[in-house]
Structure 1
Amino acid sequence: MSCLQKWKTIFAMIIVEFGFAAVNALFKKVLNGGMDQLVASTYRLAVSAIFLAPLAWFFERKVASKLTARIICSLFISALLGGTFTQYFFLLGLEYTSTTFSCAFLNMVPVITFILALLLRQEKIKLKSRSGRAKILGILFCLGGALILTLYKGMALINPSAESEVESSHRKKSWFLGSIFLFAGCFVWSAWFLVQARISKDYPYQYSSTAIMSFFGAFQSAILSFIITRNVSKWILKGGLEILSVIFGGMVGSGLCYVVMSWCVKQKGAVFTSAFSPLIQIFAAVFDISILHAQIHLGRGGCIAYMTSSSK
């Protein structure tokens, strides 16, 4: 791979992580306003499918191979893991925590992906080699960081007297519950990387595969939403911010970002693509402070920096 191609993938993934952080900040705002997680996920995936369909037709209609039953099943599973469940669990965790905290949890994705790859015999580890021992240490560091993020909050670094004791107690309970949802989201997203690595070999057409995945994901999220809640009023978008979040989240977060990630998985593999997740925390912290006016706490701020450095 040429130096130019290498830098293209790096630059592309930096833009992807910035896009994810911006989408997360917007959805944190609308979730706090009462928007339902599954409704948000359904609209977001539907917008992604509508946005990507003409792009897939324009760029790939002459080169894309025919869809087989096996590829369709793989894309359906990919949508279930990377679209429906990942977005639902992550939006639940985002509602209970903060943008910075939820993005910090994404450091678990490369670790979980590696463990799943080991269990499925897609990856090998040599304990006697330096790289093998480094991988083990990296796993332990990230797992320890996740526990600290969940169990220890620390004092607020910005305006520490603004939060009352009642609010603090409620936040601790919400934070722990949010951590469970975020871990579930990280687990299914890690599984998605392994599925996507296979799809990139069988059907290496990023626009088409992402458009189909988004279509399946929107359908799955809608069915799940009608099963869990039958309140029709939740499907009505209230205000310009919710409309903006759905459109921007669909076009960027579930659309272009997934297209670029699929391309990077094809070019450099799942481990390389997932290794850029620590960058989301840096961008998310900026959005948290400047837009959402959220608190950054001592324990978690230090832990986020620790997990970011240890995951590189």
Structure 2
Amino acid sequence: MKKCINWYPVFIMIAIDLAFAISNILLKKVVTDGMDHLVFITYRQSISTIFLSPLAFFLERKSRPKLTLSILCHLFLSAIAGASLTQYLFLVGIEYTSATFACAFVNMVPVVTFLMALPFRLESINLKYSSGRAKVIGTLVCLGGAILLTVYRGIPLVHFSGSQHVTQSIKLSSSKRSERWTIGSLAMLAGTFLWSSWFLLQANIGERYPCQYSSTAIMTFFSAVQSALFSLSINRNHSIWYLDRKTDIIAVIYAVSVFLNIISS
């Protein structure tokens, strides 16, 4: 029984990686089919707010500290760095690259977070100990892998004749595909830096407002409003808000369920 408890964090990490992999496949499908990125983010964050608000109200009503203007500003910035802009860049990246690439590239987040935390003394390195040397080696390996994924695509292992993906690839010139891959990689890289900065911001918010459900509910609300306003300002076509494909609905619901399970775990 004790061994099972010790392995519990490992099982959780594997389950989260599997959930993210399925989510990336669904996201690749819906963005390729033409679903608007900001519409997806708005729906996802709105549904998350609806589910989190009752939990925040009932579970943290006795322990919730005063919500000051400063905390609200931090949560607003947190919504931009950790939800709205990060998710938008991630969706652009997954549209221009692949679901596999997105899964691999996300592994850079802990590395970038670690590097960004060093100047703020939130992390430390002591090369005298094996743990310190392991941090350095792990950082270099992850960075090297990310650079390799960015500059080298490789060749397709399987060709599906007649598929929409192959037809689209044939129409695009080699230089155009390379350009799209580069844009997608840069979008992923920018999203990684934003997501890493969000973790540092969350450390500050957690000290000043230690209410997990309340802070997350406010953040998702801000993110939904930000995404909706930005979408309406650049695209007045209201038809993009109709989810007329089953895969769009499934992708939104699944993304929300993954997010809520991570929050509650």
- Shorter-chain TM-score range: 0.7 to 0.9
Q: How does 1:46-57 map to 2 (within 5 A)?
A: 46-57=46-57
State whether residues 118 and 124 of structure 1, in contact with CA within 8 Å, keep that contact through their aligned partners in structure 2: yes
State whether residues 20 and 103 of structure 2, in contact with CA within 8 Å, keep that contact through their aligned partners in structure 1: no
- Unpaired stretches in structure 2, ≥5 consecutive residues: none
C-alpha separation between the residues in 2 aligned to 1:158 and 1:191? Answer: 38
Corresponding letter in the other structure for 1:174: R
Question: Cα distance, 1:134 vs. partner?
Answer: 2.9
C-alpha separation between the residues in 2 aligned to 1:87 and 1:24? Answer: 12
- Unpaired stretches in structure 1, ≥5 consecutive residues: 261-312
Q: TM-score, normalised by structure 2?
A: 0.86
Corresponding letter in the other structure for 2:23: V
How many aligned positions are there? 258
Which of 193, 198, 210 is 2:199 aligned to?
Answer: 193
1:223-266 Cα deviation digits (max 9, x unpaired): 2223333332222222222122223322x244332443xxxxxx
Q: How does 1:35-46 map to 2 (within 5 A)?
A: 35-46=35-46
Matched position secondary structure for 2:107: helix
C-alpha separation between the residues in 2 aligned to 1:11 and 1:131? Answer: 22
Corresponding letter in the other structure for 2:65: S
Partner of residue 223, structure 1: 229
Partner of residue 134, structure 1: 134
The answer to whether residue 73 in structure 2 is matched with residue 86 in structure 1 is no
State whether residues 113 and 199 of structure 2, in contact with CA within 8 Å, keep that contact through their aligned partners in structure 1: yes
Matched position secondary structure for 2:236: coil
Compared with structure 1, are the counterparts of its residues 104 and 81 closer, same or farther at alpha carbon in structure 2 (3 Å cutoff)? same
Q: TM-score, normalised by structure 1?
A: 0.74
C-alpha separation between the residues in 2 aligned to 1:8 and 1:65? Answer: 32
Identity of aligned residues (%): 51
Q: How does 1:1-312 map to 2 (within 5 A)?
A: 8-159=8-159, 167=172, 169=174, 170-250=176-256, 252-260=257-265
Compared with structure 1, are the counterparts of its residues 203 and 11 closer, same or farther at alpha carbon in structure 2 (3 Å cutoff)? farther
Question: Cα distance, 1:129 vs. partner?
Answer: 4.1
Question: Cα distance, 1:3 vs. partner?
Answer: 8.1
Partner of residue 280, structure 1: none
State whether residues 71 and 208 of structure 2, in contact with CA within 8 Å, keep that contact through their aligned partners in structure 1: yes
1:75-104 Cα deviation digits (max 9, x unpaired): 222111111111111011011111111110
State whether residues 38 and 221 of structure 1, in contact with CA within 8 Å, keep that contact through their aligned partners in structure 2: yes
Question: Cα distance, 1:211 vs. partner?
Answer: 1.1
Higher mean alpha-carbon deviation, 5-14 vs 30-39, is at 5-14
Corresponding letter in the other structure for 1:117: A
Question: Cα distance, 1:63 vs. partner?
Answer: 3.0
State whether residues 86 and 188 of structure 1, in contact with CA within 8 Å, keep that contact through their aligned partners in structure 2: yes
State whether residues 39 and 234 of structure 1, in contact with CA within 8 Å, keep that contact through their aligned partners in structure 2: yes
1:123-157 Cα deviation digits (max 9, x unpaired): 22234544333322222221211111011122222
Question: Cα distance, 1:6 vs. partner?
Answer: 5.9
C-alpha separation between the residues in 1 aligned to 2:66 and 2:6? Answer: 30
C-alpha separation between the residues in 2 aligned to 1:17 and 1:258? Answer: 15
Higher mean alpha-carbon deviation, 64-73 vs 149-158, is at 64-73
Question: Cα distance, 1:61 vs. partner?
Answer: 2.5
Compared with structure 1, are the counterparts of its residues 27 and 145 closer, same or farther at alpha carbon in structure 2 (3 Å cutoff)? same
1:181-229 Cα deviation digits (max 9, x unpaired): 1111111111111112222233232222211111011111122223333
Question: Cα distance, 1:26 vs. partner?
Answer: 1.7
CA RMSD for the aligned pairs?
2.6
State whether residues 30 and 247 of structure 2, in contact with CA within 8 Å, keep that contact through their aligned partners in structure 1: yes
C-alpha separation between the residues in 2 aligned to 1:27 and 1:123? Answer: 33
1:47-89 Cα deviation digits (max 9, x unpaired): 1101111222232223333322232222222111111111111
Matched position secondary structure for 2:118: helix
